[in-house]
């Protein structure tokens, strides 16, 4: 009798061990599927962000104002700066773009420059020039001149008319 009692618990232990192993495998399989599901969701989120960045990079003009420099004449160094763009480039966006571009292109105390910003008051504050690729007239434009040349400064004063002239 002692032999039977010793063998039976051994069999039960093996069987219960197998049941736990099977149960653990099923639980592990479920956990793996959940992990796979979360991994796929994360990869899709990353892919959507990257696609958005790529599409906005391609259609940059549609979302941002683009600064444009033009020389007034070949005889002087006065430049006209304005910003054009898509539907989001209203007067506020143009003014921000012009001020940022002047701040980045002309470091303070490196080159002596003077500029003024002139508003085109004939345009509405919110105008969205998007028909047939025509970006329309700019709402703001700036004239930039070197302070070293007196003839350029006189020309800048006449172009700016009654607007304030800033020095950097």
Which one, of 55, 78, 63, 60, lies nearest residue 148 by Cα?
78
CA–CA dist 138, 91 (Å, integer): 8
Across the chain, where does the E strand assignment appear? 65-71, 79-85, 113-119, 140-146, 166-167
Give the start-to-end residue ranges of the domains of the chain. Answer: 1-58, 61-167
Query: What was the pLDDT predicted at 108?
Result: 75
Provide DSSP, 9-55.
HHHHHHHHHHHHHHHHHHHHHHHHHHHHHHHHHHHHHHHHHHHHHHH
CA 84 to chain centre: 17
Query: What was the pLDDT predicted at 20?
Result: 57
Contact yes or no for 86/133 (Cβ under 8 A): no
Beta-bridged to residue 81, according to DSSP, are: 69, 142
Tens digit of pLDDT per residue, the chain (168 long)? 555 555 544 444 444 555 556 667 777 788 888 999 999 999 999 999 999 888 877 766 666 788 899 998 877 889 999 988 777 788 888 899 999 999 888 877 777 889 999 998 888 777 665 555 666 778 899 999 888 878 888 898 999 988 998 988
| Upper half-sphere CA count for residue 26 (Cβ side, 13 Å) | 5
Query: What was the pLDDT predicted at 88?
Result: 74
Query: What was the pLDDT predicted at 69?
Result: 92
Query: What was the pLDDT predicted at 10?
Result: 47
Look up the pTM and report it: 0.62
């Amino acid at each position: 009798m002692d032999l039977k009692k010793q063998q039976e618990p051994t069999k039960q232990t093996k069987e219960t061990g197998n049941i736990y192993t099977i149960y653990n495998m099923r639980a592990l399989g479920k956990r793996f599927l959940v992990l796979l599901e979360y991994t796929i969701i994360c990869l899709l989120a990353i892919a959507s962000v990257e696609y958005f960045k790529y599409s906005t990079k391609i259609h940059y003009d549609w979302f941002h104002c683009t600064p444009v420099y033009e020389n007034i004449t070949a005889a002087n160094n006065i430049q006209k700066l304005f910003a054009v763009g898509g539907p989001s480039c209203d007067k506020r966006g143009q003014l921000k773009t012009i001020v940022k571009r002047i701040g980045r292109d002309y470091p303070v105390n490196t080159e002596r420059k003077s500029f003024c910003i002139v508003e085109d008051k004939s345009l509405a504050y919110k105008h969205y020039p998007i028909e047939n690729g025509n970006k329309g007239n700019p709402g703001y434009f700036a004239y930039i001149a070197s302070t070293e040349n007196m003839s350029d400064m006189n020309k800048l004063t006449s172009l700016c008319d009654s607007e304030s002239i800033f020095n950097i």
